[in-house]
Amino acid sequence: MEKIKNYINGKLVESSSGNYIDNYNPASGKVYSLVPDSNEDDINAAVLAANTAFQSWSKTSKKYRSDLLMRLASKIEEYSEELIIAESRDNGKPEALARLVDIPRASENFRFFATAILHFSSELHDMDGKALNYTLREPIGVAACISPWNLPLYLLTWKIAPALAAGNTVVAKPSEVTPMTAYILSKICAEIDFPPGVLNIVHGIGSKIGDFLTGHEDTPIVSFTGGTQTGRHIAGIASPMFKKISLELGGKNPNIVFADANFDKAVTMAVKAGFSNQGQICLCGSRLFIQDEIYEKFKKALLEKVSKLKVGDPQDDGMDLGAVVSEEHMNKVLSKITQAKKIGGNILTGGNRKLIEGDLLNGYYIEPTVIENLPFDCEVNQEEIFGPVLTLIPFKDEEEVINMANSTKYGLSASIFTENISKGHRVAAAIKSGVVWINTWLLRDLRIPFGGMKQSGVGREGGFKSLQFFTEPKNVCIKI
Ligand code: NAD
């Protein structure tokens, strides 16, 4: 069975304990590789390597760093088929989705920040000819980059690319549930002789080693994407140490369909927003608000499409949904469906684990599930489920839907469907979330400020915002 290795100081190494944890293939429910069960010593070794490498890496030219990151991007493309298969096997997502989204985006992240750094500039404040202030933007040190399991390589590279481009070094901690593509990335780095210590990847259980990384005195920057609870815990450790922190957390995103929406487009998008990646995207539109006048017609059209979604072997290109990421997560999602039923939720379709005969019988499949008749303020409609579960909520008018949409503790993203552009702008302005789409969902421009309000996060990533986060501004004032 393949043993994944840590990547520290340019070398692929075992964890210092020599212990491993099982890595499951969600499609079959079987263990297929082993993940290093790292400990404090491994984190210390990685931070030391990164801190040492920072002395030289932070002084390299932008062009040098840009060229190296471009090289990494090309290598990801060269190894894309291996990465696609690995991402699907580790996470349960259809290979077709990894081919369309995850792996192209991983190389794109490197290309994007490799070029962005060449165009990054800072400010000058002229005091009417009496003095000049100019702002330097300097790399900070070792960045702790912690990423989740839902878009494993996509989100890992979204952090490490800007951190490295800006001249920091990195200790990355991928999710222990989906470590494989990070491991392949580290093998690629070793193959192209990436400078030792600049990027380090330590695998292991977040709750066991995370605090050593986020609380280490030599990691002045912490960039985290994951659940709100974990984010709160990390903030509790890093904030009193005055570290720079970026937190990209959970969401319970409203998808609002007005009666005047383009009906067919809104139905298609509602299905996509509800079930892509088995509903395991922080931006999924898991609360679907439909205006009264079209509620029944929309529900019928939606159910027709949902009933045609195919769930099964992620390797089969005909599948729309694969497996959810783990047995534990599957049981959590199913328990939310049970809870919904208990409080009067009407399961319109799905609602159960899906068993696939043969080799995949123990895989973690869930039927795409649509539920109605739940109060907008019940727990199921307030807490993130992060699975293929969509709830339908009718609404009367703008005021009512805005109140319901804003009622959760989250504020990550929202979609609004209407052909009335003034209404679209008005509702977008009233929605409390970091990202609002009008007549679309998940249309991403990597330059935009991306992040959440309320308990969906702190700070913004994307474009120059990422480069600003990963640099420290220093103002120099010259008296003329
Ligand atoms: P999680 O919070 O359980 O884990 C995320 C990462 O944190 C993992 O690598 C884990 O090992 C690590 N971790 C766990 N405990 C830690 C600790 N004490 N210190 C440091 N690191 C620790 O999240 P998950 O279940 O992997 O991912 C799902 C969550 O991520 C969902 O809530 C989803 O909404 C969120 N998410 C948010 C975004 C966004 O951009 N806002 C994107 C994707 C996922």
d(C-alpha 408, C-alpha 368), whole Å: 23
pLDDT (tens digit per residue) in 140-188: 999 999 999 999 999 999 999 999 999 999 999 999 999 999 999 999 9
DSSP assignment of 138-173, as one string?
A: EE-SEEEEE--SSSHHHHHHHHHHHHHHTT-EEEEE
What's the confidence (pLDDT) of residue 281? 98
* CATH code, 254-445: 3.40.309.10
Coil, strand, or helix at residue 425? Answer: helix
The architecture of the domain spanning 2-249+456-479 is 3-Layer(aba) Sandwich (3.40)
pLDDT (tens digit per residue) in 57-80: 999 999 999 999 999 999 999 999
What's the confidence (pLDDT) of residue 201? 99
User: Could you tell me the pLDDT band of residue 17, with boundaries at 50, 70 and 90?
Assistant: very high
Pocket test for ligand 1, best of 105, 230, 325 (most atoms within 8 A of CB): 230
Sheet order of strands, 287-291 included: 346-349, 369-372, 389-395, 287-291, 254-257, 413-417, 435-438
Q: Do domains 2-249+456-479 and 254-445 have the same CATH topology?
A: no
Distances (CA, A) of 447 to 115, 444, 465: 12, 9, 8
249: Cβ–Cβ under 8 A, 6 or more apart, which residues? 225, 226, 227, 228, 231, 282, 410, 412, 452, 455, 456, 457
Q: Where are the domains of the chain?
A: 2-249+456-479, 254-445
pLDDT (tens digit per residue) in 26-49: 999 999 999 999 999 999 999 999
Pocket test for ligand 1, best of 146, 151, 155, 180 (most atoms within 8 A of CB): 146
Of residues 387, 388, 415, 419, the one with CA closest to residue 401: 415
What's the confidence (pLDDT) of residue 273? 98
The overall average pLDDT reported for the chain is 98
pLDDT (tens digit per residue) in 401-411: 999 999 999 99
Q: Which two tokens stand for residue 38?
A: 């790292």
In angstroms, what is the span from residue 230 Cα to ligand 1's centroid? 6
Q: Is 284 a catalytic residue?
A: no
Q: Is the dihedral of CA 323, 280, 169, 99 positive or negative?
A: positive
Contact 12/78 with Cβ under 8 angstroms?
no
Atom of ligand 1 nearest to the CA of 228: 32
Atom of ligand 1 nearest to the CA of 282: 34
What's the confidence (pLDDT) of residue 6? 98
Q: Which of 282, 284, 367, 384 is catalytic?
A: 282
Q: Is 282 a catalytic residue?
A: yes
* Ligand 1 touching residue 206 (CB < 6 A): yes
